[in-house]
Amino acid sequence: MLNRSVTLIGLLQAAAIVTILFSVVTSFDFLHRYIELYSHFRPQYFAASLLLLIVFTVLRSPRYAMLLLVTTIFNASYVLPWYFGATAIESDDTIKLLHANVYAGNDQYERLFKLIETEQPDVIFLQEVTQKWRDATLRLRGDYPHSYIEAREGSFGIAMYSRVALDTITHVDSPPLGYPTIVATMTVNNEALTLINTHPTIPMSRLQYEARNEQLRSIADLANRAPGAVVLTGDLNASVWGRSYRRLEASTGLRNTRHGFGILPTWPTFLPFAMIPIDHALVSDRIGVVDTRTGARIGSDHLPLIVEIAVGNEAAGPASFGPE
């Protein structure tokens, strides 16, 4: 019994050390791309440090309890601010956007159509649109007459459907890999509004990491040149705690619509305990955020993101949350 007790305590101590180590090291994600990959799991580090704090407090282990208390507070500084600070927006004239990475290999089209029927969004952005997804979603044109589809095999086709009349719509082949980014403009409350939807590559290898960052920089330039207010949506393959994402916010002045609505993890749906927020909607200060939430599952490895905005309302949010 004593040996078992010692083994259990030893495992708990090892878990505490690993949690503290990852919590601290991932705050230096500028040192290496692998560190940035692990920085995405800040909510998991927060939950683990809090649970272990409780355990070591019960075990009356003051050294570990104190270290875990500091670690929990440190992780909380990244996580908890996302749940506070929403500005109340009251408007009868809002636009609801639905962003969904549908997953190229997914053939459960009806689940997407059911979500659209339930949510009744004004604008729909779809990513990983293959030719099969293009053919399946053409039926949306009845309710969404303003559309643009750039279907591609693989994971980087893209489409937009809108009930709201558009002034312009096109796509650009974003550097360095030429993945399509949709750029549309519309006029809302006599104000120009630019909508951008993009999907950079996954940052697994060094070349992919650099390619993702280059596409994010090109999107920042695009947003900075855009007329009027800007809405940027997409599976950015970067979480809100990553340095590359923070640079995007800092270089554009856009703010994440999650502020005040929570972390809202979107991927991967097949590992619920490891889900992280990599699908985003960012907006200009002249755009008020009425609501942001995730939608029902559609057979994809991503959850859809649903955002309701009001154009022309001052709703400036903080530039960033958590330590830099």
Question: What type of residue is 187?
Answer: T
Threshold 0.75, pTM exceeds? yes
pLDDT at res. 85: 79
Domain extents in the chain: 2-83, 95-311
* Domain at 95-311, CATH class: alpha beta
**Helix, strand, coil content of the chain in percent (nearest 5):** 40, 25, 35
Please list the pLDDT of the chain residue by residue as tens digits (324 residues).
445 555 888 999 999 999 999 999 999 999 999 999 999 999 999 999 999 999 999 999 999 999 999 999 999 999 999 999 776 676 668 999 999 999 999 999 999 999 999 999 999 999 999 999 999 999 999 999 999 999 999 999 999 999 999 999 999 999 999 999 999 999 998 889 999 999 999 999 999 999 999 999 999 999 999 989 999 999 999 999 999 999 999 999 999 999 999 999 999 999 999 999 999 999 999 899 999 999 999 999 999 999 999 987 444 444 333 444
pLDDT at res. 88: 62
pLDDT at res. 323: 41
Question: What type of residue is 168?
Answer: T
Compute the half-sphere exposure of residue 78: CA atoms within 13 Å on the CB side of its CA. Answer: 24
Nearest CA to 256 among 228, 227, 277, 226?
277
What whole-number distance in Å separates Cα of residue 212 and Cα of residue 46? 27
Name the 3-class secondary structure at 288.
strand
